[in-house]
Amino acid sequence: MDTDDRTIGQILSRRQVVALLGASGYAMLARRPHVRALAQGVGQAPPACVVRPQQTEGPYFVDTQLHRADIRSDPSDGTIKAGVPLALGIVVSRLSEQACTPLPGVMVDIWQCDADGVYSGVQDPRFSTLNQKFLRGYQLTGADGAARFTTIYPGWYQGRTVHIHFKLRSPATQRPGYEFTSQLYFQESVTDAVFAKAPYAARGRRSTLNANDGIFRRGGAELMLATSMQDVGYAATFHVALEGV
């Protein structure tokens, strides 16, 4: 059975955490952004931004510190990963007293598998891609809170539905800092259309849909990308708001 993105260990209660870490440890936890899922219909206000649920980082995060907008290539040889182009924007806001303000300077990392379900920079039972950095990178949000990437539509691998990982980190000079990690998902109809094309079609039918992905079931409905078609691919912009930062 595939254990990718499996949560290891147990979830502690707030009382257990305080007892374990002591007062100083609790103060550190208190500085983390308070994040909750908030259903928000299109066009409803306030707020204009939406608080999202955190999800597991998974086993494939590598802190490459690779500052770039186009993450399709491997820096070692310039090889570009084949796949349907995806223009992805992530807009980060601060939610305070029902008001949304853009958060500039946030480090936005994204990482994902290629059309064959392979991640770069890791040793895995299925593959070894150490020293490769394709489909990884970060951007800093601008004055409008936006970070924009050029990537490809991700493929699939056993045990997981189609997804992209992202991590938000505070500017290096900010004290106290914060970090937020989650995942992005796709409508099944869009994925079916993409996977009918090369190079995805060669892999056959995917094994896991959104509905039977255990990680998606823990808040994935609040992490869906609304994609639109472009000339040769898709585009999507995702809005996420943080509280307590």
Residue that is written with structure tokens 């770039």 in the block:
68
SS3 content of the chain, % helix, strand, coil (to 5): 15, 30, 55
Q: How high is the mean pLDDT in each 10-residue block of the chain (245 residues)?
A: 41 31 30 43 55 96 97 96 98 89 97 98 96 98 97 97 98 90 98 97 95 97 96 95 90
Exposure string for 151-169, b = 16+ CB within 10 A, e = fewer: bbbbbbbebbbbbbbbbbb
Task: Tell me the three state secondary structure of residue 220.
Answer: helix
Residues contacting 17, CB < 8 A, separation 6+ = 25, 26, 29
Is residue 242 within 8 A of residue 167, CB to CB? The reply is no
Instruction: Give me the amino acid identity at 70.
Output: D
DSSP letters for 174-218 = -SS--EEEEEEE--HHHHHHHHTSTTGGGG-S-S--GGG-TTTTT
Topology adopted by domain 14-242: Protocatechuate 3,4-Dioxygenase, subunit A (2.60.130)
CA dist., res. 24 & res. 5, Å (int): 30
Tokens of 78: 């310039």
Question: Residue 21: exposed, middle, or buried by beta-carbon count in 10 A (0-12, 13-18, 19+)?
Answer: middle
Tokens of 225: 């990308």
pLDDT of residue 174: 86
Category of 183 on φ-ψ map: left (φ > 0), alpha (ψ -120 to 50) or beta = beta
The DSSP code for 32 is S
For the entire predicted model, the pTM comes to 0.83
